[in-house]
Amino acid sequence: MIQRLAPKPAPIVARFAVFTAAFAFAAATAQAKLVQRTVSYKQGGAELEGYLAYDDSQAGSKPGVLVVHDWLGLTDKTKKRADQLAALGYVAFAADIYGKGVRPKTQEDAAKEAAKYRDGDRKLLRERAGAALKALASAKSVDKKRLAAIGYCFGGGAVLELARSGADVKGVVSFHGNLDTPSPASAKTLKARVLALHGADDPFVPAEAVTGFETEMRNAKADWELVKYGNSVHSFTDETAGDDPSKGQAYNAKADKRSWEAMKDFFKEAL
């Protein structure tokens, strides 16, 4: 017969140390608080309404990241990205390019609203993005010398235009954004590093636009990267885009995860 001996209880001091460490961790977690609030700001005479997010449990100044929405305007999915950035230790500000209360309800309305800036007035698009960057820079705890911007679809094109304007940002990241511009020569004023994350099979960004972007970056002698994700079409980070690539836009979980990690690595170097 084999007699199994019960394990000896840990010494009281050791148990107390473990308990103390666990309590301290729980207390620190409880103190962490994500601050989320609406911020009103202006560009010219236009009233704009963005969304600010940061973790107030982290002391000291933090890098600021601007987030520019897709063609549906500032929605919960854009705010979610801002929250994710805040959880990584950044002060995130989701821009409002369209203006207070302008939130398209249909794809058709979104296309019309986006066209006002993308096809009609790129100068105004740059000014709206610049106003949002200024609002971010004025936020509490932001290190004004460490600013960056990311954007999705329409917003991806917007942050590229922001960079082309010569804005004082360390880096911009475009997620499946339009890569073309009516004024490629202006990229010579570009100061930011550029990361373009692109669906290799995106039908809404033609091959000539991709080639034109590459030529533009080379001519500007920019610090740039273009990453193409295979088997990915437009909106590959958007969980609401469906799962049918034949429609030209669809969610791709692998590309979504990989592109987010690429952004994080890019910011580690740029910021």
Assigned token pair, 114: 């986006």
The residues, ordered by sequence, that sit 6+ positions from 161 with a Cβ below 8 Å of its Cβ are 122, 125, 126, 129, 181
The residues, ordered by sequence, that sit 6+ positions from 255 with a Cβ below 8 Å of its Cβ are 199, 229, 231, 232, 236, 237
Check whether 14 has a pLDDT greater than 50.
no
Distance of CA 26 to the CA centre of its chain: 30
Residue 18: inside a domain:
no
Phi first, then psi: what are they for 194, rounded to 5°?
A: -125, 130
SS3 state at 6: coil
Check whether 11 has a pLDDT greater than 90.
no
**What DSSP string runs through 167-208?**
-S-SEEEEES-----S-GGGGGG--SEEEEEEETT-TTS-HH
Residue 97: inside a domain:
yes
Residue 203: inside a domain:
yes
Residue 120: inside a domain:
yes
| pLDDT level of residue 33 (50, 70, 90 thresholds) | confident
* Mean pLDDT over the full length of the chain: 90
Q: What is d(CA 158, CA 172) in angstroms, rounded to the nearest whole number?
A: 10
The residues, ordered by sequence, that sit 6+ positions from 241 with a Cβ below 8 Å of its Cβ are 234, 235, 249, 250, 251
CATH (domain of 118): 3.40.50.1820
User: Could you tell me the pTM of the whole model?
Assistant: 0.87
C-alpha radius of gyration, the chain, whole number: 22
pLDDT top residue among 2 and 155: 155
Check whether 23 has a pLDDT greater than 90.
no
Q: Are 267 and 171 in contact (CB under 8 A)?
A: yes
| pLDDT level of residue 148 (50, 70, 90 thresholds) | very high
Residue 78: inside a domain:
yes
Q: What is d(CA 88, CA 99) in angstroms, rounded to the nearest whole number?
A: 28
| pLDDT, tens digit, 9 for 90 and up, residues 66-79 | 999 999 999 999 99
Q: Are 203 and 210 in contact (CB under 8 A)?
A: no
Residue 196: inside a domain:
yes
| Residue 111 neighbours by CB distance under 10 Å | 14
Residue 138: inside a domain:
yes
Residue 84: inside a domain:
yes
Residue (of 91, 270, 259) closest to 171 by Cα position: 270
Write down the pLDDT at residue 100.
96
| pLDDT, tens digit, 9 for 90 and up, residues 254-268 | 999 999 999 999 999
Range(s) of the domain holding residue 135: 41-270
Q: What is d(CA 247, CA 136) in angstroms, rounded to the nearest whole number?
A: 36
| pLDDT, tens digit, 9 for 90 and up, residues 184-234 | 888 789 999 999 999 999 999 999 999 999 999 999 999 999 999 999 999
Write down the pLDDT at residue 163.
97
| pLDDT level of residue 32 (50, 70, 90 thresholds) | low
| Residue 192 neighbours by CB distance under 10 Å | 26
Count up the domains in the chain and report the number.
1
Check whether 1 has a pLDDT greater than 60.
no
Which DSSP symbol is given to 120? Answer: I
